[in-house]
Amino acid sequence: MAKIHQALLSVSNKEGLVEFAKGLHKLGVTLISTGGTARKLKEEGLPVIGISEVTNFPEMMDGRVKTLHPAVHGGILAVRDNEEHMNQIKAEGIKPIDLIVCNLYPFAETIAKEGVTLEEAIENIDIGGPTMIRSAAKNFNDVAVVVDPSDYTGILEELEANEVALSVYKKMELSYKAFHHTAQYDHLIQDYLAKQLKDAEGLPEVMLDRYEKIADLRYGENPHQKAAFYKEKDLTEPSITTAKQHHGKELSFNNINDTNGALELVKEFTDKPAVAVIKHANPCGMGVGDTLLEAYEKGYAGDPLSAYGSIVALNREVTEDVAKGIAGEGKFVEVVIAPGYTDEALEVLKARWKNVRILETGDLFINRENAGYDMKKVTGGMLVQDRDVVELDESELKVVTETKPTKEQMKDLLFAWKVVKHVKSNAIVMAKDEMVVGVGAGQMSRVDSMIIAGMKADGRQEGGVVASDAFFPFPDAIEEAAKKGIKAVIQPGGSIRDEKVIEACNKHGIAMVFTGRRHFKH
């Protein structure tokens, strides 16, 4: 392993710098540095060669040109066992630089400042730093590059243990990290400029760079599929990616997907306690109540059979009584997710199941102003759209039937409308007293979803309401609803046969409300 003789330190974030430089100096490494970094090291009494002594050029134009010089890049990029390279740098009086310690102008922090000007942002685009980092990262066989102050201690320890050398494997690891760092940095700049341009409202040119891996998963949807979990970098609201796990087995691919569905559903309810019971990302039960226990009981009662092995999401802190409800005899859940838990509640859940995943999100909200994107993978491509977070404007509701919904029915219609948005299309939700009593999900025809919802409700829908995520193409589903004793329906409207659908409602004395907006979820 080749020894490190010369290091170039040029950092904006000076955290840990002095200790690291002192360690390098103690190991006999020569230190080269740029303006502010050199000043800081000199203040500590460290011997530092200024960059101008290396380049024979002054640092110019407010620091726009400091390290951008063949004396620096030749010293970094020369391949040490390439005789010609080494002769060439020698002839120019260039000495190899074996270690680059660099982090960049604080672009992210600058653009986050209130009232930042374009000029200020542009001045904070680092050019020399990324160039140097990339040179060193390319030549990782011979050069080490450190971009993260949290790596300083570990590197010093390795240098101390290995006669001031690092393994090629370690240098390759640092190279990977360095390219990641510069790629992120460029991305941020690209994004910022896109926002300044007139088409800032459009979707970004490149999507996947916005995501970083937070976990490798044991496997994907099936055991033969490899999988990992990625987090959106500029995430602005609590989500499955930010939830803290208190207890239980590692989350699986399917757990994450289903828990996301459960959490997003209860996030819709802010005014009152709400509990969703989810299987395969669809709600099998959902309830709203004056207390969280009441909401849980309604959520569970929706479909106790399907609730076995479900995911339970709650929108309020879980208390002991609710935990006892979830942990009741004969029950089994995969995941519980909530804004928080009392100590007693946690005890109850932990004691009941060794493996149940208990997740805490903190206070729940939907950031509708900056909700991010929703994506669907297709073979060879990806579809991207805004997340469906638009709220129902109650003033736009239109009662289109002779019969008007009662106050109680309207409450249930609005409840069911929020739920149906989270059910796979074609989606039908039957509800009564702010409790889901039947769900028809993912059917190829809407009337089949209605029939299935009615089957699941098993009589409990009598006098209740129905929500449909998209319009009824025919009156057939209304005929089915009428047979089941449904008294009010909420749906977007907009079918060419709306008149027929309204006629069917009028015939059966069903009240129907149009929202004017559909919520497909495919």
Ligand X SMILES: NC(=O)c1ncn([C@@H]2O[C@H](COP(=O)(O)O)[C@@H](O)[C@H]2O)c1NC=O
The span from the CA of 339 to the CA of 313, in Å, is: 9
Total Cβ atoms within 10 A of residue 257: 16
**Residue type at position 280:** H
CB nearer to ligand X: pick between 42 and 85: 42
Which residues bind to ligand X, rule: CB under 6 A? Answer: 10-12, 34-37, 63-68, 102-105, 126-129
- Who's near 520: CB < 8 A, 6+ residues apart? 425, 469, 470
The span from the CA of 503 to the CA of 343, in Å, is: 56
**Residue type at position 234:** D
Beta pairing, strands 398-399 & 373-378: unpaired
| N residues, the chain | 522
Q: Which helix (H) or strand (E) holds 428?
A: strand 428-431
Q: How far is the CB of 193 from ligand X (least distance, A)?
A: 17
The span from the CA of 125 to the CA of 208, in Å, is: 22
The span from the CA of 21 to the CA of 39, in Å, is: 13
CB nearer to ligand X: pick between 128 and 475: 128
CB nearer to ligand X: pick between 32 and 447: 32
Q: How far is the CB of 209 from ligand X (least distance, A)?
A: 21
DSSP output for 146-177: E--GGGHHHHHHHHHHTTTB--HHHHHHHHHH
Q: Which of the residues 14, 280, 350, 508 is marked catalytic?
A: 280
Q: How far is the CB of 123 from ligand X (least distance, A)?
A: 9
Q: Which of the residues 138, 180, 187, 500 is marked catalytic?
A: 138
Strand partners, 357: 335
CB nearer to ligand X: pick between 136 and 477: 136
Burial of 169 (0-12, 13-18, 19+ CB in 10 A): exposed
**Residue type at position 254:** N
CB nearer to ligand X: pick between 35 and 473: 35
Catalytic residue flag (residue 331): no
Q: How far is the CB of 48 from ligand X (least distance, A)?
A: 11
Q: How far is the CB of 142 from ligand X (least distance, A)?
A: 20
Question: What is the separation, in whole angstroms, between the first and last Cα of the chain?
Answer: 56
CB nearer to ligand X: pick between 69 and 298: 69
Catalytic residue flag (residue 138): yes
The catalytic residues are: 138, 280
